[in-house]
Amino acid sequence: MKIVLYKVLIFLKIHRLFQYVNRNTIIILMYHGFTDHDHRGVENYLGFHIPKSAFEKQLQYLQKDYNIISLKKAVDIIKNKKKIPKNSIVLTIDDGYNSNYSLAYPIIKKLRAPATIFLTTSFVDEQKFLWVDRLEYAINNTKEEKLNIDNNKYILSDTNTKLDCVRSIKSKLKKIKPGKRMVILEGIENELGAKLNSNNAPDIYRPLSWNKIKEMKQSGLVNFGSHTHTHPILSQCNKKQIKNELLFSKNLLEREIGIKCNDFAYPNGQPEDFSEEVVGCLKRINYKCALTTVAGKNNPDTNLYKLKRYPVSNRDDLVEFKIILSGISSFLNKIKNLI
Ligand SMILES: [Zn+2]
C-alpha cells in the first residue's frame, strides 16, 4: 500500500517539490555491504547487503538529480557555515566488508562518486568476523532443530522460527557487555555445531584487507574513518574502554594507510548508544566529526558530532529511495505522529 502511494507521488512529481524545498540540506546515506546473488534462510535478512545493481542505479540517480560531495567537504561546509551546494549527498559505508571493494568500488570508480568507509579495525586487522554475522550464520546453518540458551528455548524448524530466534537473541546480546556476549555466542555456536570461519564464510561476511583499503585510498575517491576497534556499543563501555576503542582504531588506521583519521561513526549509532562522555573523548583525541544512525538531514546548525544519516537497505528500490531522499517519508511520519 505504501509503495502504491509512493509511486503515485513520484508519478505526480511531488518528490521534486520536496526536493526543491529541502535543497539547502546535506543528506548522508549509510550503506553496509553489497551482494551479487540471492540469499537463503536468514542470511542477510535485514537487507544490509544490497544488490550491486541497485547500488549502481541509486548512484546513477544521485548523479543526475543530486550533488554527491565528500564527507570532508560536508564537514567543512557545516563547520565554516558555508553555502551548501544544492541537494548535497554524502555516501558512507559502515563496518569494512570486503564487498565494499569487490562489488561497490568498481561502481564508485566508474561513476567517480566519492565515499567514506568506516572501518571496525579488528574486523580488518585480525580478520575477526562480526558477532552479529556469527550469530546469523550459526542459526542459518545449523542442523539442530532447537536451541536452549540461558533458560530460553527456541525452535529452529524453518526460516520463520529461525528469524524469531536471531532477532530475539540479537536484541538480548546487544544489551550485555562484550566479554560476556562473546562467551554466550561461543556457547550458541557450540550447541548448534555451526561456526563462521574463514573456510566456510559466505562472501557477504568477509572483511576488507589493508591492501584493498590502500588501493581504494590511492584512487582519491574513497576515504576512511574509524568505527571503533571492536564495534562495542560505547554507552556500555567505561571511560578507559571508550578511549581505547577511539584511539587504538585511529592510530592503527593512520599507521596502516598513512592518512589522518578525522571521521568517526558510532556503532549502532542511536542516541542511547553513545554519551556526552564519548563526544568529549572524540574531541580530545582530535576527531573532527561523528556520524549517528539517527535518520534526518543536516544543515549548518547540525552538531558535527551528531551528524544524521539515512540507512539504505535492499528494500529500498528506486521508488523508496527517491521518497526518502526527497523528505516525503519524514514528512509523512511527522503527520502520522500528529494524528
Ligand atoms: Zn557497524
Flag whether pLDDT at 336 surpasses 80: no
Averaged pLDDT, 123-133: 93
Farthest CA pair distance, the chain: 59
Mean pLDDT estimate for the chain:
93
Å from CA of 229 to ligand 1 middle? 11
In this prediction, residue 115 carries a pLDDT of: 98
Å from CA of 158 to ligand 1 middle? 28
CA 130 to CA 77: how far, in whole Å?
34
Flag whether pLDDT at 150 surpasses 90: no
Å from CA of 228 to ligand 1 middle? 9
Averaged pLDDT, 148-157: 88
- Secondary structure of residue 216 in the 3-state scheme: helix
At residue 339 the predicted structure's pLDDT band, cuts being 50, 70 and 90, is low
Averaged pLDDT, 291-319: 90
Å from CA of 188 to ligand 1 middle? 22
Residues 6+ apart with CB under 8 A from 44: 35, 204, 314
Å from CA of 308 to ligand 1 middle? 15
Å from CA of 201 to ligand 1 middle? 19
In this prediction, residue 199 carries a pLDDT of: 93
Å from CA of 98 to ligand 1 middle? 14
Residues 6+ apart with CB under 8 A from 41: 140, 159, 162
In this prediction, residue 315 carries a pLDDT of: 65
pLDDT higher for 314 or 4? 4
Å from CA of 93 to ligand 1 middle? 9
In this prediction, residue 176 carries a pLDDT of: 87
Flag whether pLDDT at 335 surpasses 80: no
CA 115 to CA 220: how far, in whole Å?
10
CA 204 to CA 149: how far, in whole Å?
27
CATH number of 2-128+210-338: 3.20.20.370
**The three grid cell numbers given for residue 307, joined into one nine-digit string:** 551528524
Å from CA of 17 to ligand 1 middle? 34
Å from CA of 330 to ligand 1 middle? 23
Task: Return the amino acid letter for 118.
Answer: F
Å from CA of 111 to ligand 1 middle? 25
pLDDT digits (tens, 9 = 90+) for 185-243: 999 999 999 999 999 999 999 999 999 999 999 999 999 999 999 999 999 899 999 99
In this prediction, residue 333 carries a pLDDT of: 76
Residues 6+ apart with CB under 8 A from 118: 92, 93, 94, 95, 96, 224, 225, 226, 227, 263, 264, 265, 291
In this prediction, residue 338 carries a pLDDT of: 67
Flag whether pLDDT at 316 surpasses 70: no
How many CB atoms neighbour CB 190 within 10 A? 11
pLDDT digits (tens, 9 = 90+) for 167-192: 999 999 988 888 889 999 999 999 99
Q: Rounded to whole angstroms, what are the CA distances from 302 to 81, 166, 307?
A: 10, 35, 7
Å from CA of 95 to ligand 1 middle? 5
Instruction: Annotate 34-50 with DSSP letters as a single string.
Output: EESS---TTTTTT--EE
**The three grid cell numbers given for residue 172, joined into one nine-digit string:** 538480548
Flag whether pLDDT at 70 surpasses 70: yes
CA 41 to CA 36: how far, in whole Å?
16
